[in-house]
Copies of this chain bind each other. A is one copy, B any other.
Amino acid sequence: MSVTLTIVTDPATRESRELAVTSGTTILRAAHAAGIDITAVCGGRGRCTSCRVKFVAGTVPPPTIMDEVQLGDDLVREAYRLSCQCHVTEPVTVQVTPPVDETAFQILGSGGGVARLGRIAIDSGVTKQLVRVELPREEHHQTSDVEQLLAAIGGDTSAVPASVLQTLPSALRDDPAGVTVTTFGGKVLAVERGDTALMKFGLAIDVGTTTVVTSLLELESGEQLASVSSLNPQSVYGGDLMSRIAFAQFNPASLRKLQTRIVGLLNRQIAAVCSESGVLAKWIYKVAIVGNTCMHHVLLGIDPSHVGLAPYAPVMRHPLVLPARDIPLRVAPEAQVCLLPIVAGFVGADAVAVTLATRLDESDELRVAVDIGTNGEVILGSREKLWACSAPAGPALEGAQIRCGMRGAAGAIDRVLVGDGVEVHTIGETEPLGICGSGLIDLVAGLLDAGAIDWTGLIQADQRDALPPRLRDRIVRRGEERVVVVLRPGEAGARHEIVLTQDDVRQVQLAKGAIASGIALLQQVAGVPADRIGELLLAGGFGNYLSIPSAIRIGLIPSMPLERVRYVGNAASLGAQACLLSEKERQRAEDIARRIEHVSLAAHPAFEDVFVGAMNFPRGGAHE
């Protein structure tokens, strides 16, 4: 039985083709039979999302398990399906995803909401081509395999690294179809037997002090196939940058330990994203890496001792490209690892990537990007000028060094409402185990509003009478210590008591003080009052789960209309992705690094005053 399948091949012009297909055929197979290009990176096994189509007429079939796993709830709801998994049984119209030459990588532009205004043309610099190489047949020749290869592809012998030569003879002779040659900037990265031209992938890696994120992208379409986030295993040697530098300082063996840990983690993450997506690691030819100066240096095995000593000189700042075997990352040995440039000892490649992803450098109005993290950074500027400073919040906002703190994992209290009593929400809605950063900020904001903490940060254990009765019992003194009992055993399913101590409040004050004074000082250097800041962008994995009203309430960011503050997710990682997919963007990163003026907080004459002021909370509690 034959049914009509209509495929919109060009979403822009609505150009389409009608196919008569046998009922039960998959959309992918029908399209390929009719000569319509739909990319199927995993070979039609439901292991990636590249063959997805959108149903625009007819009954949208129920999602398969593969649709749900690969596409996620949002795309499934928007009528996307994997064409390799979807069998045609009645007349339907589907639209292909934009063809390769029109695809563009969506990036965080300026403007309101979650708009995706900025678009970049994909141009990773990695090319693959299938070639047939003529080999000598007579004994009386004077040539070699590599000379014959170069006769087919052009270029000279310096373009072919020794590691590619190692397996060249078998590659050239094993498959009558020929070999697939991968190049980048005139350099030959790999020669593979047979036709593997469609297999072209890259990694964007964000090495944070606390969190490391590795994303696998298809280089032709820009599609993200997998992403994994892990705790930086160097944390056992120190939670923040300074303690980690101190560990490695003047001790090559300790530096080696830090380096081994991060390289080991990256290789485990690479194995994970490859396994999840069905991509072979040898098909990964480009890697873009961002990170702060210390993480950058340690990854390369560069002594970071002096990054931690005044005047905090980095060893290098320029963008670096080196083969993966030099680190070593377990991808194609000659894969080009591109490390983004650095601005200063404490304004690293991550700040450059955040600027790139948020397009601060192209903005007409002055905007601020705040990358919240253990070693945060603040960037302020527009197309005219860019300033940046470090804002070392420490690990408190990630739940570390807090009595009942924890990272944002299942069981973490991530939302708190302080009313008559205390209501909490946990990640995964399970038994509460501790408080993560966003919960901590909500909690402190609520306690400030309720008057249970005053503007200096003091827990009001001596003025409990002014508090609502059900809150009153929670504000207690235990010996010398002032404590807020957030949950008693049994409350909200908690097995143990969960508290906020006076020390915890001080840690939050230090953290938010660092960021707030960073913002304030850049404003001062640039001569920009808060009302002239067009937009404030909160970046960092953390930023995505942060309540903006709470952040303003505790003074983490200045008081601004809520519509002028927005989340931009992990902008450092997005900046790395942009550089992975576009050589032009990578060039832009270099320009940005050169343009950013580094402002040294500690060296600024106003720093002491600003910082002490920023440590306090904004007034406006119940009794102020």
Contacts and interface: CB of A to CB of B under 8 A. Distances in A.
Contacts of A478: none
A136 interface: yes
A474 B167 CA distance: 55
A287 to B, nearest CB: 15
B140 A305 contact: no
A619 interface: no
A65 interface: no
A130 to B, nearest CB: 21
Contact of A165 (B140, B315, B344): B315
Given A136-B311, A138-B311, A603-B139, A157 B303 contact: no
Contacts of A344: 141-142
B144 A315 contact: yes
Contact of A169 (B146, B165, B305, B320): B305
A320 B162 contact: yes
A145 interface: yes
Interface residues of A, number: 51
Contact of A318 (B157, B168, B170, B315): B157
B140 A316 contact: no
A282 interface: no
A547 interface: no
Nearest to A311: B139
A44 interface: no
Given A165-B302, A166-B301, A300-B166, A316 B139 contact: no
A313 B170 CA distance: 12
A306 B141 contact: no
A316 B600 contact: no
A326 interface: yes
Contacts of A602: 139
A310 interface: yes
Interface in A273-315: 300-303, 305-306, 310-315
Given A142-B343, A146-B315, A157-B316, A300 B170 contact: no
A600 B166 contact: no
A165 B304 CA distance: 11
Interface string A307-340: 0001111111110101000100000000000000
Given A168-B303, A320-B162, A140 B315 contact: no
Interface string A161-190: 010011111100100000000000000000
Interface string A593-606: 00001111011000
A136 B313 contact: yes
Nearest to A346: B139
A17 B167 CA distance: 63
Contacts of A170: 250, 303, 305
Contacts of A362: none
A162 B320 CA distance: 9
Contacts of A310: 139
A598 B326 CA distance: 37
Nearest to A305: B169
Contacts of A599: 140
Given A162-B320, A302-B165, A303-B168, A311 B598 contact: no
A300 B165 contact: yes
B315 A141 contact: no
Contacts of A68: none
Contact of A145 (B144, B306, B326, B597): B306
A143 to B, nearest CB: 7
Given A139-B602, A311-B138, A144 B305 contact: no
Contacts of A14: none
A314 B166 contact: no
A316 B142 contact: no
Interface string A113-147: 00000000000000000000001111111111111
A342 interface: yes
A160 B137 CA distance: 44
Nearest to A161: B322
A320 B160 CA distance: 10
The CB with the most chain B CB atoms within 10 A, among A136, A144, A146, A147, is that of A144
Contact of A316 (B141, B144, B312, B318): B144
A169 B169 CA distance: 43
A312 B140 CA distance: 9
B166 A313 contact: no
Contacts of A165: 300, 302, 315-316
Contacts of A167: 303
A256 to B, nearest CB: 10
A169 B315 contact: yes
Contacts of A144: 313-318, 342
Given A317-B147, A326-B162, A303 B169 contact: yes
19 contacts: A136-B313, A139-B602, A140-B599, A140-B603, A142-B344, A143-B313, A144-B313, A144-B317, A144-B318, A157-B316, A160-B316, A162-B320, A165-B302, A165-B315, A165-B316, A169-B303, A169-B305, A169-B313, A170-B250
Instruction: Give the top 7 A-B pairs by smallest Cβ distance, nearest first.
Output: A157-B318, A139-B603, A139-B600, A139-B311, A144-B317, A144-B314, A140-B600
Given A139-B310, A139-B600, A146-B317, 7 more contacts: A141-B598, A142-B317, A144-B314, A144-B342, A146-B316, A162-B326, A168-B302
